Amino acid sequence: MKNYKIAIMAGDGIGPEIMQEAVKVLKLVEERNDVTFELMPALFGACGYFEKGDAFPQETKDICDQADAIIKGPIGLSHEESKKIPIDKQPERGALLPMRRRYKTYANYRPVSLPQSLAHFSPLKPEIIGDGIDLIMVRELVGGLYFGNKEVGVNDDGLRYVKETLEYDENQIRQIMHHAFKLASGRKKVLHNIHKSNVLKSSVLWNEVMEEVATEYPDVKVINILVDAAATLLCLNPTQFDVMVMENMFGDILSDQGGGILGSLGLMPSACLGDEKAYYEPSHGSAPDIAGKNIANPYSMIGSVAMMLEYSFGMVEEAKNVWAAMQGVFADGFSTADLSKPGSGVKMISTDAFGDKVVE
Ligand code: ATP
Ligand code: MG
């Protein structure tokens, strides 16, 4: 029997509520298979700061170091609440970026997927959704502006200024490109390379390295597209995309737009893969506005667990079963509040009822 150690970091805001449902699903997968999951809960995010004075406490690092995989809920506080935490101890700066750096989880897979039968969830017209949206964004996760040098000061004219650098070296670009090309090669063999090389030097290097890597994947057709144009086309014609590759901040922004075209950020799971370690998290934030109300959509968290089953444990069939179970809940006409607006015809259920139905 296989035994996997899983670090579980519920996080902040809606994190604990959606994590609880993901754990229900994980327990069922354990029951149905010749496998045991050793769940190791850990504090991460603002909860870590309030309890231990550190958003990424040493105990959590130790647990994550030992774990075969990490599942993480969203972290962060509302704009107002976050003023209670010093800037460098904030959940994103004090926990999220350090974790990405520690485990070198450079490849962030963010599926944006909606079958035709659920076109009514989307703000887009059914004719735009056509046979359904099924694309995956591959976002570089440990470079770019988020990790570059930061300088804040007062210049010679007495004006406050800030300087943040967007840095990549060719190896960083090469490794994310290999992920994207491999993924594209196993799917529709089309890769949309997202860039801004008409303005940014970083995109010029990005494209050069992309072209070098492309020679190793002659079966994949590359389509280059400016990030701003990609934003428009995601609304006007999202079905043209299959695999999209992009640098860190472009990926942050476009993937939230991905949630928008589906109808809810609650439909956005993700996998953050490194060569040695991987962690799994919803693409969205902690949604403080709806926290504690049992109304958040746990799809993103349960979907992240499905991605863990597939990518970290090779349990491809069980991952498919989890996706199918969630689609089954939608097919029966149920969803959480984000996707069941009055008049939509969708029956509203709570976060925990959604999890129960997935298990059922
Ligand atoms: P971050 O900067 O951490 O990505 P954000 O500013 O993008 O955070 P989110 O916390 O992702 O903001 O939330 C944006 C809005 O999306 C929330 O106000 C919430 O209403 C909605 N939302 C996010 N996740 C979910 C979810 N799982 N279920 C339902 N609604 C959600
Ligand atoms: Mg966001």
- Choosing from 284, 302, 335, 336 the residue with most ligand 1 atoms within 8 A of its CB, the one to mutate for a pocket test is 284
Percent of the chain at pLDDT > 90 equals: 98
Q: Is the CB of 286 under 6 A from ligand 1?
A: yes
Query: Ligand 1 centroid vs 263 CA: distance in angstroms?
Result: 12
pLDDT tens track for 191-248: 999 999 999 999 999 999 999 999 999 999 999 999 999 999 999 999 999 999 999 9
Q: Which of 22-36, 76-90, 149-163 has the lowest average pLDDT?
A: 76-90
Does the pLDDT at position 343 exceed 90? no
Percent of the chain at pLDDT > 70 equals: 100
pLDDT value of position 326: 98
- Segment 338-346 shows an average pLDDT of 92
Map residue 162 onto helix, strand or coil.
strand
What is the position in ligand 1's atom list of the atom closest to the CA of 283? Answer: 4
Listed residue (219, 222, 216) closest to 174, CA to CA: 216
pLDDT value of position 108: 98
Nearest-angstrom CA–CA distance, 155 and 96: 31
Does the pLDDT at position 143 exceed 90? yes
pTM of the model: 0.96
Does the pLDDT at position 341 exceed 90? no
**Average pLDDT, rounded, for the chain:** 97
β-strands 107-115, 271-273 pairing:
antiparallel
Q: Is the CB of 290 under 6 A from ligand 1?
A: yes
CA distances (Å), origin 237, targets 169, 196, 306: 33, 20, 28
| Residue 318 token pair | 């069980």
Listed residue (127, 70, 75, 77) closest to 311, CA to CA: 70
Does the pLDDT at position 259 exceed 90? yes
- Segment 242-266 shows an average pLDDT of 98
Does the pLDDT at position 88 exceed 90? no
Q: Which of 55-69, 83-97, 192-206, 239-253 has the lowest average pLDDT?
A: 83-97
| Residue 194 token pair | 């997202």
Does the pLDDT at position 175 exceed 90? yes
- Segment 123-149 shows an average pLDDT of 97
Does the pLDDT at position 5 exceed 90? yes
Whether 318 contacts 32, CB under 8 Å:
yes
Does the pLDDT at position 101 exceed 90? yes
Nearest-angstrom CA–CA distance, 193 and 210: 8
